[in-house]
Amino acid sequence: MLAKVKTCCIYGLLAADIEVEVDVTNGLPTMNIVGLPDAALKESKERVRTAINNSGFQFPLKRITVNLSPADTKKEGTHFDLPIALGVLAASGQIKLQDFSGVVVLGELSLDGKVNPVNGVLPMLLEMYSRGFTKVILPLGNIEEAKLVNGLQCIGIKSLRELMAFINGEIQIEAHIGNTIEDLENCQFEEDFKEVKGQETLKRALEIVAAGSHNLLMVGPPGSGKTMAVRRLPSILPKLIFEEAMEITKLYSISGLLGQNKGLITQRPFRAPHHTSSMIALTGGGRVPKPGEVSLSHFGVLFLDELPEFNKNALEVLRQPLEDGFITISRVNGSFTYPAKFMLIGSMNPCPCGYHGTEGGQHSCSCTPQQIIRYAGKVSGPLLDRMDIIVETTAVSYADLTNNKSTEGSKEIRKRVEIAREIQLDRYRGTKITFNSQLTPSAIKKHCKLDDQSQQLLRNAFEKMKLSARAYNRIIKITRTIADLDESPTIKMNHLAEALQYRKVSSLVRR
């Protein structure tokens, strides 16, 4: 007897629908899975047999053939367990599957018949729903994720036995109807900018990058508060809009980082990979490529602490995603494209010992000129070119900066950032741009008009500060963000003048 159950398989962020065909005929007791299954999927038969037996059903002692159609694409994942088990039970006549043509089944079985949550549920179901599947049976642990698909009926089950009882009509399981969440709640943060004393320049720079999603490089001696300030960056990032949250959740779903019972990700990602991370860890990869750090920080922050300590090759691969906003990884199994619109925050010391340029302070640099040049040279010119803002921090003696000066907390800063974000969303409605940092040269012409005074200033600055033509776009983008923070529709001279403060200073960073 033949039974068919629908399920799906993930390829990158896209999904394909798969039909699980199970045939039970007389013959030597054996079970074969065909249709290019991977190792985890081949092992599925052991789990299926034990789970069926342990759930109080009979695993047929017959010749069982499982075909995953279409048979010419490779399939991987453990979520095929449940549809195969269901197929076996139906093909052996232990259950009747009625009205199952529009139902997607997925789930991993454990030996006692329990149904475990799986990865990649959100992107798979989004795709399946758009193809006309309106109902899904899936592990209860994935139900929050599935509920994000607007209009989809989701039935979460705990065990194979429960599923059988449900299909036989013995028990009722309420179907959750998925819907979109329009207003994402604010997240709570433990760390607050109030705790950062001094470093007003750095705080202002972080405010600007948060508002416009610009890249930032901090250069300064150890202990000047770089890492401390950046750790508080998430607390001032603008809240996610639903589309962004969905994209992030999809990426985390396929990476298996979503966690059980977790639905939509409402907080912008903040990824801080260690400097021993490999190139693959940053870009993503594997036999079937998984998203790397650049994609996991999509719409969020990729913080590379101690930038020059990173493998040079690993840093260089950041160039393309920084430019394009996505990364394409090609492997034998195919090409996979993952989004990677992240803001890059780098921190570095000016030299190996860290105190170059702070002469006269408590420490003095003990490096040779060669060492300093070599150290700065680890960050290549093209990468530096993509840094919109470079801030040099100094360990200022704060003996005279007494504590009674009230420092702004994250809440106030975030308020301004949110307003700037609203302005940007409004201005770029209908285009692909969501942040000022994504402005293309033609968009700059359209959206960033300078008044005569600013033109004059810029012309002066180019001559006096010897700026390169390449620096032009970078400065304009930052100026746009500063103007947005000021809630000014036009770019004024003071906005431009402030932006010019965040240009590169050649004394510290070679180029």
Partner 1 sequence: MINERNLLIWLNRLGGITYEMILDFTEHFGKLTELWHAKEAEIYEVLQNHRIIADKLLKTRNKQYLEKVLTETNSDAYKIVTILDSDYPEKLKSIYNPPYVIYIKGIADFNKPLIAIVGARKSTPYGRWAAKKFARELTEWGVGVVSGLALGIDAEGHKGALEEKGYTIGVLGCGIDTFYPSSNYHLFKQLEESGCIISEYGPGIEPLKHHFPARNRIISGLSDGVVVIEAGEKSGTLITVGFALEQGKDVYALPGNINNNQSKGTNKLIREGAKILLDTEDIIEELRYKYDLSNTKKEWEIQEMLSNDEMRVFDIIKRQPTHIDVISYKTGIGISELSTILTILELKGLISQLSGKTFTADK
Query: Least distance in Å: CB of 16 to partner 1?
Result: 51
Report, in Å, the least distance between residue 464 CB and partner 1.
6
Does residue 464 touch partner 1 according to CB under 8 A?
yes
Nearer of residues 434 and 481 to partner 1, judged by Cβ: 481
Query: Binding of partner 1 at residue 204 (CB under 8 A)?
Result: yes
Inter-axis angle of helices 81-91 and 44-54, to 10 degrees?
A: 60
User: 103 or 391: whose CB is closer to partner 1?
Assistant: 391
Residue with Cβ nearer partner 1 (18 or 458)? 458
Sequence letter at residue 258: L
Q: How near is the Cβ of 445 to partner 1 at its closest, in Å?
A: 23
Q: Which helix (H) or strand (E) holds 421?
A: helix 410-427
- Stretch 350-369 residues interacting with partner 1 (CB under 8 A): 350, 357-358
Compute the least distance from the CB of residue 494 to partner 1, in Å.
Answer: 4
CA–CA separation, 194 vs 204, rounded Å? 13
Kindly tell me which of 142 and 224 has the beta carbon lying closer to partner 1: 224
Which one of 16, 194, 497, 510 is in contact with partner 1 (CB under 8 A)? 497
Residues in the chain: 511
What are 313's two structure tokens? Answer: 């090759």
- Smallest separation, CB 353 to partner 1 (Å): 15
**In b/e form, how buried is each residue of 461-493, taking b as 16+ CB within 10 angstroms?**
bbeeeebeeebeebbbbbbbbbbbbbeeeebbb
- As a whole number of angstroms, the longest Cα–Cα distance in the chain is 90
- Which residue in 95, 97, 173, 508 binds partner 1 (CB under 8 A)? 508
Q: Which is nearer to partner 1, 32 or 364 (CB)?
A: 364
Write the DSSP assignment of 380-405 as a string of letters. -HHHHHT-SEEEE-----TTSS-TTS
Contact string (CB under 8 A) for partner 1, positions 283-312, x = contact: ------------------------------
Closest to partner 1 by CB, 220 vs 346, is 220
In the block, residue with structure tokens 């139902």: 103
Q: Which secondary structure element, helix H or strand E, spans residue 482, and what is its range?
A: helix 469-485
Site for partner 1 in 150-169 (CB under 8 A): none
Give the residue with the Cβ less far from partner 1, 65 or 407.
Answer: 407
Task: Return the number of the residue (219 or 282) whose C-beta is nearest partner 1.
Answer: 219
Separation between Cα atoms, residue 462 and residue 456, nearest integer Å: 10
Cβ-proximal residues to 130 (8 Å cutoff; 6+ apart), any chain: none
Q: What are phi and psi of 352, to 5 degrees?
A: -55, -40
Judged by CB under 8 A, which of 25, 168, 366, 501 binds partner 1?
501
Of 1-9, 247-255, 272-280, 492-500, which part binds partner 1 (CB under 8 A)? 492-500
Binding mask 375-414 for partner 1 (x = CB under 8 A): ----------------xxxx-x---xx---x---------
Among 112, 195, 200, 323, binds partner 1 (CB under 8 A): 200
Least distance (Å) between residue 485 CB and partner 1: 8
Query: CA dihedral defined by 137, 140, 142, 145, rounded to 10 degrees?
Result: 90
Q: Kindly tell me which of 104 and 218 has the beta carbon lying closer to partner 1.
A: 218
**Which CB, 135 or 480, lies closer to partner 1?**
480
- Which DSSP state fits 440? -
The span of 116-124, 163-171, 317-325, 495-503 binding partner 1 (CB under 8 A) equals 495-503
| Residues 236, 206 contacting (CB under 8 angstroms) | yes
For residues 318 and 294, the answer to whether their CB atoms sit within 8 Å is: yes
DSSP E strand boundaries for 81-152: 103-105, 108-109, 115-116, 135-139
Of 220-239, which residues contact partner 1 (CB under 8 A)? Answer: 220
461 binds partner 1 per the rule CB under 8 A: yes
Q: How far is the CB of 396 from partner 1 (least distance, A)?
A: 5
CA distances from 425 to 164, 170, 414, 418, 447 (A): 49, 51, 16, 10, 13
Closest CB to partner 1 among residues 118, 395: 395
DSSP run (H or E) holding 464? helix 452-464
Q: Which is nearer to partner 1, 181 or 493 (CB)?
A: 493
Count of residues that bind partner 1 according to CB under 8 A? 36
Q: Look at residues 328, 264, 267, 261 and name the one whose alpha carbon lies nearest to residue 294.
A: 328
Residue among 103 and 413 whose Cβ is closer to partner 1: 413
Secondary structure letter of residue 487 according to DSSP: T
Angstrom distances, CA of residue 187 to CA of 193, 259, 302, 410, 411: 15, 18, 19, 12, 12
Q: At closest approach, how far in Å is the CB of 489 from partner 1?
A: 18
- Which residue from 17, 457, 467, 473 is in contact with partner 1, where contact means CB under 8 A? 457
Residues of the shown chain interacting with partner 1 in the complex, contacts defined by CB under 8 A:
198-201, 203-204, 220, 350, 357-358, 391-394, 396, 400-401, 405, 457, 460-461, 464-465, 482, 485, 493-495, 497-498, 500-502, 505, 507-508
